[in-house]
């Protein structure tokens, strides 16, 4: 089999058996990037020399018999929101264009310690604010299934890279659905771990109470392998959970839902959802029932308020976090010609450095936090957040996991929603509740929507620190649906290789 078509688990086995070297695997993926990324634009920076050096180091250790982890020699793409020593970190923004951080994010360090080969940094919506990757200051990424469509966002570059066989694995961040939504529309697997289960140290902050790093992959097992390698307590992150990583790899291998209680969330379907997405979702639920799961409908009445609550909480936190980009310490500095004072330079830099969506959210958040409006807007949104958490608690008393479509629609056209922020925000309708509550969730492909032939995703949600349940259900659905369709549903890159 062509190396780039192999899963991470298959590559791991071949590397361990000495059938292929890390250098060969890395070179194959670098060649694939070189051959396809002019059309996909998944990467903002390709670290070819550094990747080959890492691969050679892994091969050297393997040759001496040094014990290595399962991801040693397996390539991974990194969203450009994780700091990486020796590589630029831009967050998709002009305001950080050319910035080379002096340190690694904890997750970047863990990938290196695991022997994973970092191929480079992937494109993203500026500061992770968007659902299409069109908000990147460096141009949009494209969906490998159809190059006229978006790959989702904000981790669209990571999802596109995996779906296009440029990398078997990638990491992203999920603040309102920024892993699961691009995974769904690109036909791959994406997980939002329990908030605090994966370190935020070195992740350039958008909304600190929501940002959650997680894996993207072409199979459930691959996502679990990366999830396990990147997760765990980090004393450098004050919100990190000091608890063992749930046994996600074992759960992905178990793939058994017999006797599990699965709750279908009534509020996350119906009017406004694409009929083809609902068709594939209903089939996936039927498949789970046929495997022995007990399916019931549950109601989470406050989920209908999740979107407006999110768009008060997240912009408020973004307003606070992005105040650090002041042109004084790092990144872009505009208008500093000796005739302007610091305040004028700061204003010019922010004017030129931030894109329209980032400015929109900073303005919204600053207003929501302002004197006289804090209680009416930000305070009320936090109360709604509490009600959503209680909805989850009540639902999980009736079901082991909850399910819904991962997105209301399949991938939409590039430019189609660019001038309509509300239409863009609706892409995260299904994913936002789990971010507000902090519980775990995954998107797994559930087929191609019959009305347009594009991928649809099944979302599985589990209580906090029950991440292993996600993988157990997702792996069972993946196996059964693959058998039903007669071929894997993942990462066909049809738009590239047709």
Cα separation, 472 vs 249, in Å, equals 9
Residue 149 annotated among the catalytic residues of the structure: no
Cα 300 off chain centre by? 24
Cα separation, 345 vs 128, in Å, equals 25
Parallel, antiparallel or unpaired: strands 117-122 and 189-192 = unpaired
- The answer to whether the Cα torsion of 218, 219, 225, 230 is positive or negative is positive
Alpha carbon distances (Å) from 454 to 151, 249, 276, 409, 445: 11, 29, 9, 10, 11
Report residue 259 as tokens.
């006797």
Residue 237 CB partners (closer than 8 Å, separation 6+): 106, 196, 199, 200, 201
Residue 148 annotated among the catalytic residues of the structure: no
From the candidates 79, 121, 149, 192, give the one annotated as an active-site residue.
79
Cα 417 off chain centre by? 20
Alpha carbon distances (Å) from 174 to 12, 135, 194, 199, 496: 27, 16, 11, 13, 27
From the candidates 93, 131, 136, 154, give the one annotated as an active-site residue.
154
SS3 489: coil
Length of the chain: 498
Q: What angle do CA 398, 176, 216 make, to 5 degrees?
A: 90
Residue 154 annotated among the catalytic residues of the structure: yes
Collect contacts of 394-398 with beta carbons under 8 A, ≥24 apart: 394/300, 395/263, 395/265, 395/298, 395/299, 395/300, 396/463, 398/261, 398/263, 398/296, 398/298
From the candidates 12, 109, 178, 240, give the one annotated as an active-site residue.
178
- CA Rg value for the chain: 21
Q: How many CA atoms lie within 13 Å of 176's alpha carbon, on the beta-carbon side?
A: 29
Q: Can you give the three-state secondary structure of 157-196, one letter per residue?
A: HHHHHHHCCCCCEEEEEECCCCCHHHHHHHCCEEEECCCC
| Catalytic machinery residues | 79, 154, 178
């Amino acid at each position: 089999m062509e190396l780039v078509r192999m899963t991470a688990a298959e590559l791991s086995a071949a590397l361990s058996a000495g059938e292929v070297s890390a250098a060969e695997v890395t070179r194959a993926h670098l060649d694939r990037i070189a051959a396809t990324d002019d059309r996909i634009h998944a990467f903002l920076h390709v670290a070819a020399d550094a990747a080959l050096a890492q691969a050679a180091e892994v091969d050297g250790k393997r040759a001496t018999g040094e014990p290595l982890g399962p991801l040693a020699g397996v390539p991974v793409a990194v969203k450009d929101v994780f700091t990486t020593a020796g590589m630029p970190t831009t967050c998709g923004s002009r305001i950080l264009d050319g910035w080379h951080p002096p340190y690694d994010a904890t997750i970047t360090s863990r990938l290196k310690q695991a022997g994973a080969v970092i191929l480079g940094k992937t494109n993203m919506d500026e500061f992770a604010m968007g659902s299409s990757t069109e908000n990147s200051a460096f141009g949009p990424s494209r969906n490998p299934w159809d190059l006229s469509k978006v790959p989702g966002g904000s981790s669209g570059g990571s999802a596109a890279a995996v779906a296009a066989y440029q990398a078997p694995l990638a990491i992203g961040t999920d603040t309102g659905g920024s892993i699961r939504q691009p995974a769904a529309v690109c036909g791959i697997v994406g997980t939002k771990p329990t908030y605090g289960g994966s370190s935020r140290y070195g992740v350039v902050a958008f909304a600190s109470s929501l940002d959650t790093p997680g894996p993207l992959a072409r199979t459930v097992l691959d996502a679990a392998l990366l999830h396990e390698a990147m997760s765990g307590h980090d004393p450098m992150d004050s919100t990190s959970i000091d608890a063992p990583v749930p046994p996600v790899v074992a759960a992905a291998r178990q793939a058994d839902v017999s006797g599990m209680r699965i709750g279908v969330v009534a509020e996350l379907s119906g009017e406004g959802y694409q009929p083809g997405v609902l068709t594939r979702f209903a089939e996936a639920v039927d498949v789970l029932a046929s495997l022995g799961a007990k399916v019931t409908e549950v109601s989470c009445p406050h989920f209908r308020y999740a979107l407006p609550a999110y768009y008060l909480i997240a912009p408020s936190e973004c307003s606070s976090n992005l105040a650090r980009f002041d042109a004084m310490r790092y990144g872009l500095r505009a208008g500093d010609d000796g005739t302007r004072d610091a305040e004028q330079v700061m204003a010019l830099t922010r004017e030129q450095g931030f894109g329209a969506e980032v400015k929109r959210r900073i303005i919204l958040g600053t207003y929501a936090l302002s004197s006289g409006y804090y209680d009416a807007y930000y305070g009320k949104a936090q109360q709604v957040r509490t009600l959503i958490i209680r909805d989850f608690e009540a639902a999980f008393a009736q079901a082991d996991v909850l399910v819904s479509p991962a997105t209301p629609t399949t991938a939409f056209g590039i430019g189609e929603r660019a001038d309509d922020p509300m239409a863009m925000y609706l892409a995260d309708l299904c994913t936002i509740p789990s971010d507000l509550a902090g519980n775990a969730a995954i998107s797994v492909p559930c087929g191609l929507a019959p009305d347009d032939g594009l991928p649809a995703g099944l979302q599985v949600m589990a209580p906090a620190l029950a991440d292993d349940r996600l993988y157990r259900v997702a792996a069972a659905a993946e196996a059964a649906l693959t058998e039903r369709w007669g071929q894997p549903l993942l990462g066909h890159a049809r738009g590239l290789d047709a």
